[in-house]
A and B are shown apart, each in its own frame.
Chain A
Amino acid sequence: MMHKKQSMLRKGALAFALTIALTGVAGAKTFRIADQGDALSMDPHSLNESLQLSFTGNIYEPLVARDKQLKLVPGLATKWQQLNPTTWRFDLRKGVQFHDGTPFTADDVVFTFGRAAGDGSDMKSYTNTISAVKKIDSHTIEIVTLAPFPILPDVISLVYIMSKKWAEENKAERPVDKRKGVENAASFKANGTGPFRLRSRDPGVRTVLVRNLNYWDKVETNVEEVVFTPIGNDATRVAALISGEIDMMQPVPVQDVARLSQNTNLNIMQGPELRTIFLGMDQARDELLFSSVKGKNPFKDKRVRQAFYQSIDVEAIKSRIMRGAATPTALMVAPGIKGFDLALNKRMPYDVEAAKKLLADAGYGSGFELKMNCPNDRYVNDGEICQAVAGMLARIGVKVTLEAETKGTYFPKILSRNTSFYLLGWTPGTYDSHNPLNALMATPGASGQGQFNLGSYSNAKLDELTAKIASETDDAKRNAMISEAFKIHHDDVGHLPLHQQALAWGMRKNVSLVQLPDNFNQFKWVTVK
């Protein structure tokens, strides 16, 4: 009896040890991450926003991808060459399958570019230089541009390829468009070629990805499953990381960086981000939608824009709200973006008296009222920055009614231009100054330029320069034109640049990953020990 019991115990222990050993070897690792907001849709063409593109970039892939240094590397295209100044040929990767098993062909590429350039797409600023995408054979395509466009491969690195067959079967031929309330299956389902596939999607709650075992490339990750949870509240997100409920989160609230860095179980990864935070003003309408000034638009007067600029104390925002984790800027691009010009990065001085005088000269000596739109879960301390700006503007007599809200309602609102004064952050998806010039500063046009110029700032000279910059191949000449365009924008006070925020990712010590300066997180480079 005694003997039997002992042997059973021994067997049990052995089985137990074996189980542990087996799971250790198999290493089915789950990577649990949290962000302050959700990716609003799984449709890769519905919103040109870093988080959404970063997340869907694990499911979908572009023709031309980027490596850990952000250099261009073959993605779904194995090779590309410029046949003549306006024609590019791309050889497509053979033997690649979408997650549903459909083979990837040139038809999918042609379809994708049509979708990304079409009605409802938020990606038009990446496609507006393209005039045609032609299928040559099943695995070769040609892209024709309107004018010579030497940075085409950089520009299309965020255009993720979708399956034509799948989109048609799921009635998702057109992108999800939250502005018009257009939803379709692509928001909740996904079928890409990437290293991860979408298992389940519960918007605002939980999104689960699993490894694509048929992936065409070898990947270094040991993660089998990724669980993504948006946690809006800063303190809750920090608590979740400390307690081990999640493995990684971002952003680490600036006020908690110092404290968390001392925690031996955690690793806080900080770095400069390429994102510029700025304020935009409606300069197109004859009367602002949300202001006490009737019959005219105060933002059409440069003196008013400059008064706003000079009333904002970016240093105070940096030291108090961002706790030093920001770099005040005069430019709409960060150092590290091609075309950044240090000589131009000088802000107009913070000067309340000068601002008051400018406002009085423009005829608003007694100030006016204005509504400001702001997200409160998109950028680092975005809501707090807006509150501080409202306080600073109050000092020159401008009474701001602040509407701070979650990005799920914020983005559709401002992208429909239902705003007079708003906050936005921008990382050039191409790491080149042409992108913000084309998307943020050029006069809005039908083909997609100025798609994110939500206040419709307009200067013909800048538009002309933007077009020239697109096709210029000589670096020196190109940089000179970029600087000229930035100077025009600065002199016009087209936007009110504030700062570049710093990246702060928090993770448990057993996680290793690659932090890209555009705040993208590629799960294929994540290892969980």
Chain B
Amino acid sequence: MTTAAPTAFQRFFDSDLWFGFRTSPVAIGAASVALVLIVGALFAPWLAPHQPFDLATLSLMDSLLPPVWVGEGRFEYFLGTDDQGRDVLSTILYGSRISLLVGLASVALAMVLGVGLGLLSGYVGGRLDAFIMRVADVQLSFPAILIALLIDGSARALLPRDAHSDWLAIGVLVGSIGLANWVQYARTVRGSTLVEQSKEYVQAARVIGVKPWRIMMRHVLPNVLGPVLVIGTINVAQAIITEATLSFLGVGVPPTSPSLGTMINNGNNFLYSGEWWLVVFPGLALVLLCMSVNLLGDWLRDALNPKLR
């Protein structure tokens, strides 16, 4: 019992992956930035100086204050306030939560869907394969944001009128971004499955009468997961940007609980009147978040690629 945990850790610290990470300054830098942002988002209720989603604490009289180092800026609102009197720093922390939640959840959805369909398609083959791949082809010919907009719009129209809450809005967002992004996973997994299933271990399993379902899940799946993880990491950043775009276009989360995209959209209206902090800081947070996750994804791709070692 007590020896099991150290061994697992030991194995990890001895692995090539950890060594590769330790010796790559870019990976360490990106991981630290991502960690800071993620921790900030996760612990927002304890870290943030204000509660921007609690409308009762907002005061219009504190609206549009500049950051602390400019003119009438106040220390309690370090990065200034927006037009509703929300503290920009706190809103970024809370808003990143929504962005991260939507990013991770929609990638998880796309991954489950894409891996499942890809496995099925590659393993079963024939008409089912042709059908799934044609659907994927059709979907690939549209930009993901258009598909997300379409799904989002129809979901909102179909849902009952009084079903309206923040969580539902987030659910719809996750669903539409997830459904718009499954194709990549499905294609990758289908390709790897086709390769794997002609290998001896799969044929051996077939010969001894293992059920197809079990072969897919126990034997093929673990061997095709590597590239999927890489795509997943890179897609998190993409999903966060898609959410920001949808919110920027005004179909995302409700205005009373802004995500990073909503904040940038709102700040955009004040670009000409000089309130630059409304768009610069959330924009910076979005760039840092996406860039660090992307760099980590890039590094992971290289680290898992035996040809590059």
Number of interface residues of B (CB under 8 A): 27
B125 at the interface (CB under 8 A from A): no
Q: Note all chain B residues with C-beta closer than 8 A to A79.
A: none
A40 at the interface (CB under 8 A from B): no
Question: Considering only CB atoms, which chain A residue lies closest to B62 in the complex?
Answer: A320
Q: Is the interface of B mostly helix, strand, loop or mixed?
A: loop
Asked whether B271 lies within 8 Å of A371 as measured between CB atoms, the reply is no
B165 at the interface (CB under 8 A from A): yes
Asked whether A320 lies within 8 Å of B58 as measured between CB atoms, the reply is no
B39 at the interface (CB under 8 A from A): no
CB distance from A355 to the nearest CB of B (A): 13
Q: Note all chain B residues with C-beta closer than 8 A to A393.
A: 55
Name the residue in B60, B84, B272 with the highest tally of chain A Cβ atoms < 10 Å from its Cβ: B60
Asked whether A390 lies within 8 Å of B269 as measured between CB atoms, the reply is no
CB distance from A317 to the nearest CB of B (A): 7
User: CA separation between A234 and B279, bound complex, in Å?
Assistant: 14
CB distance from B95 to the nearest CB of A (A): 15
B197 at the interface (CB under 8 A from A): no
Would you list which residues of chain B between 79 and 129 have a CB under 8 Å from chain A? 83-85
Asked whether A401 lies within 8 Å of B60 as measured between CB atoms, the reply is no
Q: Note all chain B residues with C-beta closer than 8 A to A402.
A: 254-256
Asked whether A394 lies within 8 Å of B268 as measured between CB atoms, the reply is no
Q: Is the interface of A mostly helix, strand, loop or mixed?
A: helix
CB distance from B168 to the nearest CB of A (A): 10
With contact pairs A371-B164, A383-B255 given, residues A391 and B269 touching in the complex (Cβ less than 8 Å):
no
User: CA separation between A388 and B63, bound complex, in Å?
Assistant: 11
User: CA separation between A388 and B64, bound complex, in Å?
Assistant: 13
CB distance from A76 to the nearest CB of B (A): 41
Q: Which of A253-261, A338-346, A518-526 participates in binding chain B?
A: A253-261
A216 at the interface (CB under 8 A from B): no
With contact pairs A384-B83, A403-B164, A418-B161 given, residues A253 and B56 touching in the complex (Cβ less than 8 Å):
no
Name the contact of A391 in the complex, choosing from B84, B162, B164 (C-beta under 8 A).
Answer: B84
A235 at the interface (CB under 8 A from B): yes
B273 at the interface (CB under 8 A from A): yes
Asked whether A394 lies within 8 Å of B56 as measured between CB atoms, the reply is yes
User: CA separation between A320 and B82, bound complex, in Å?
Assistant: 11
Q: Mark A382-420, 1 if CB is under 8 A from B, else 0.
A: 011001101101110001111110100000000000100
CB distance from B80 to the nearest CB of A (A): 14
Asked whether B254 lies within 8 Å of A401 as measured between CB atoms, the reply is yes
Q: Mark A310-323, 1 if CB is under 8 A from B, else 0.
A: 00010011001100
B72 at the interface (CB under 8 A from A): no
A56 at the interface (CB under 8 A from B): no
Name the contact of B63 in the complex, choosing from A320, A371, A404, A406 (C-beta under 8 A).
Answer: A320
User: CA separation between A376 and B84, bound complex, in Å?
Assistant: 15
Asked whether B268 lies within 8 Å of A235 as measured between CB atoms, the reply is yes
Shortest 9 CB-CB contacts between residues of A and residues of B: A394-B55, A394-B56, A255-B273, A316-B60, A391-B55, A234-B269, A320-B60, A391-B58, A320-B63
List the interface of chain A (C-beta within 8 A of B): 233-235, 238-239, 253, 255-256, 258-260, 289-290, 313, 316-317, 320-321, 371, 376, 383-384, 387-388, 390-391, 393-395, 399-404, 406, 418
With A384-B84, A394-B55 known, 14 other A-B pairs at CB within 8 A are A235-B269, A235-B271, A253-B269, A256-B273, A259-B273, A259-B274, A316-B60, A321-B83, A391-B58, A391-B60, A391-B84, A400-B55, A402-B255, A406-B250
List the interface of chain B (C-beta within 8 A of A): 54-56, 58, 60-61, 63-64, 83-85, 161-162, 164-165, 250, 254-256, 268-275
